[in-house]
Amino acid sequence: MTPSHTVRTAGRSRVRRLAGALHRRPRLRLSLLLTAPLLWLAVLYLGSLAVLFVSAFWTTNSFTSEVVKVWSTDNFEALFTTPVFRQVIWRSIGVALAVTALCAVIALPIAFYTARVARPRWRPLLVVAILTPLWASYLVKVYAWRLILSEGGLADWLLAPLGLDGPGYGLTAAVVTLTYLWLPYMILPIHTALEQLPDNLLDASADLGARPGRTLRSVVLPVVLPSVAAGSVFTFSLSLGDYITVQIVGGKTQLIGNLVYSNIELNLPMAAALGTVPVVVIVVYLLAMRRTGALSSL
């Protein structure tokens, strides 16, 4: 036996011993696997959220904009009492809901086509086509929409024959652009659900006397609904947190994100207080969606 051979078998047997020891201690194995990611989650994610929340109770020196670490609920009071803040918060929630509703309405027929109508060998290609926009830079896409919506741009030109003007820059433009941006996140879960919908459920419905429209209403949509809710978690939270799109195509429109952004320099604690609003709204939204069973189909 050559020396190197001996070394290698010795090394291998050590690895085997270690593997065996770990196999007999499932708890140790699990903690070794999970420690790093749990630390990441706890320190970086939850930690920064906690800092955000705590700093929302601080104040600033109104002359120097220096943060003063004095406990106060003034910022949250301002949130609920200042009309501008209240208006912006409700507008942001409205935009997120509108984007979500539009995404659902557009995604359902597209997903139905890609998952059930298109020939099976084309389906993967169609899914790739739906995902392709996600590979492009967010900014590039938003600026493309700025061009489309510009005065005399594509939108104006397309709507001119109908005697209409394009929406121009503003709230509508922001909703349209956000809908375009987040649409893939809605199509994908619905596509998956429709693809997994067993054919024989449709057969059974027809067999019991249901015409196709009835089957769609009574069988397909209810079975797909949790996936729509799952997709809406993406479209809703992504819309609620967005501020760049609004800046680029929204004209003078302001959403929560814009307020956070504009307060960061002057009044960091106020920005933090504003920043907790979407967090709270999304937690409420997630709790609502959990009741539909959406989270188990994510």
Partner 1 sequence: MEAPAVRLQGLRKSFGETTAVSGVDLEIGDGEFFSMLGPSGSGKTTVLRMIAGFETPTAGRIELAGQEVTGLAPFERDVHTVFQDYALFPHMTVEQNVAYGLKIRKVPRAQRRARAREALAGVRLEKFADRRPAQLSGGQRQRVALARALVGRPRLLLLDEPLGALDLKLREQMQVELKAIQREVGITFVFVTHDQEEALTMSDRIAVFNEGRIEQVGTPAEVYEKPATPFVAGFVGTSNLLTHEAAQRIVGRPGVYSVRPEKIHVLTGGAAVTPAAEPDRITADGTVAEVVYLGDATRFLVDLDAGGRLTALQQNLETSSEDVAALRGARVRLQWQQRHTFRVPDAV
Q: Which of 59, 60, 114, 205 binds partner 1 (CB under 8 A)?
A: 205
Q: How is residue 249 written in tokens?
A: 């195509």
Residue 208 lies near partner 1 (rule: CB under 8 A) = yes
Binding residues for partner 1, total number by CB under 8 A: 18
- Cβ nearer to partner 1, comparing 8 with 214: 214
Applying CB under 8 A, the span of 41-49, 82-90, 194-202, 283-291 interacting with partner 1 comes to 194-202
* Greatest C-alpha distance within the chain: 90
Q: Which of 119, 198, 265, 280 binds partner 1 (CB under 8 A)?
A: 198
Applying CB under 8 A, the span of 143-151, 196-204, 255-263, 281-289 interacting with partner 1 comes to 196-204
Q: How far is the CB of 120 from partner 1 (least distance, A)?
A: 13
Q: How far is the CB of 220 from partner 1 (least distance, A)?
A: 10
Residue 196 lies near partner 1 (rule: CB under 8 A) = no
Q: How far is the CB of 202 from partner 1 (least distance, A)?
A: 9
Q: How is residue 168 written in tokens?
A: 């121009």
What track of x and - describes contact with partner 1 for positions 209 through 248 (by CB under 8 A)?
xxx--x---xx--xx-x-----------------------
Q: How far is the CB of 243 from partner 1 (least distance, A)?
A: 38
Spatial distance between the Cα atoms of 245 and 177, rounded to a whole number of angstroms: 7
The site for partner 1 (CB under 8 A) is made up of 198, 200-201, 203-211, 214, 218-219, 222-223, 225
